[in-house]
Structure 1
Amino acid sequence: MTTLMDRPHTALLVIDVQNDVVANAHDRDGVIANIRTLVERARAEGAPVVWVQHADDDLTRGSDGWQYVPELVRGDAEPLIHKSYGDSFEETDLAEVLAERGVGRLIVTGAQTDACIRATLHGALVRGYDAVLVADAHTTEDQSAYGAPPPEQVIAHTNLYWAWERAPGRRGGTARTAEVGFGPGTSRPDEG
């Protein structure tokens, strides 16, 4: 239901599943396994897989910590978006990459739930995309020492509020890994 014209396709976004970003993440291995399943499914269904990789003063581009986890391997033809802000659209060519592929609907996975995932979801919705959060394919580390709830509560709350997120002509929504499809006419759990 995107507001972007002539954008019938769905893409999988894999955000910041980098060594240092997920080193201490809640359910790291389970989330990465779900993302790997989604990457394989998107490829099998011919959907674009777009990889997003963060760098900043604490995550130096080219370092081992900056690299994607070894369990996830980007295909040579799959776009890689380099970013330095939470929202994957800010000062990147993500919008252009999606436009070239006719994408109006995003399936969002990765890390960190309470930072780059939330920022990208909201960034997508305000730019006209439908944005589905995969409820069991995003994670964050424990920030409770800084006053945040435990990571499982952060994840659950994000899933709860994003399931109902809407804007004129656009939808949020959530789905579990097993429910996600990329082809036309695919069911869209929690989206209406």
Structure 2
Amino acid sequence: MRKMKRMFEGTRIKVIDGLLIGEPPSEKYNPGLYLSADPEDSAALDDLVGIATRFGEGSKCGDTSATKMTNSGIVKGAIGLFVSMILAANASSPATTDALVHSLCISQPAFLDQIARLIPDLMPKAYRFVGEFEEFAESVAGTECREVYEGMIKIFEKVAEAHENQEKDINVLIKFAAEAQRSWESNTGVTGEPEHDKSYLYSVLGGGEL
């Protein structure tokens, strides 16, 4: 965005950096609209203050784009982590994936909601995530963060290939997402251990009764 801004230096054109963050707008959902500008262009934001989130003092053109990138990195990075651990659990055994659902229901139930919503939506988009994470990796070149993004690239490449060829990893992820949704819906609002048979975790791991 800073490069685009420089294209208009010396002109009367004011450049505003603006982006929507979140899902597409609908009757039930409003995404966030974020705007930033260099100090000399900030007056152009005044007419938009009622409909957008305006950055505070010290902000500049490019801050909105940076917010979008870091937000996307967190959300999609979490998806990549979910995928890698689900497939790792299944590589151990299908019973381990069952136990993973149960353990998340006890320890991090909100993750189940995220997995149920985000994993199925990933499948046809994984190839796009590859390109985005290549940009992320380039933006942090020379730091240890680059290796993190390069690892995510490999994960999304694997998912994209599996989706194209309808490999078994896709079925594993879809099944896990469905189980995550079932567990989330049946235990919404429950704190502490959900209402499962106490021997559940032991039985799926082959440990027998408590």
TM-score tier, shorter chain, comes to under 0.3
- Structure with more helix by fraction: 2
**Structure 2 length normalisation: TM-score?**
0.24
Greater RCO (Cα-Cα under 8 Å, separation 6 or more): 1
- Structure with more strand by fraction: 1
Larger Cα-atom Rg: 2
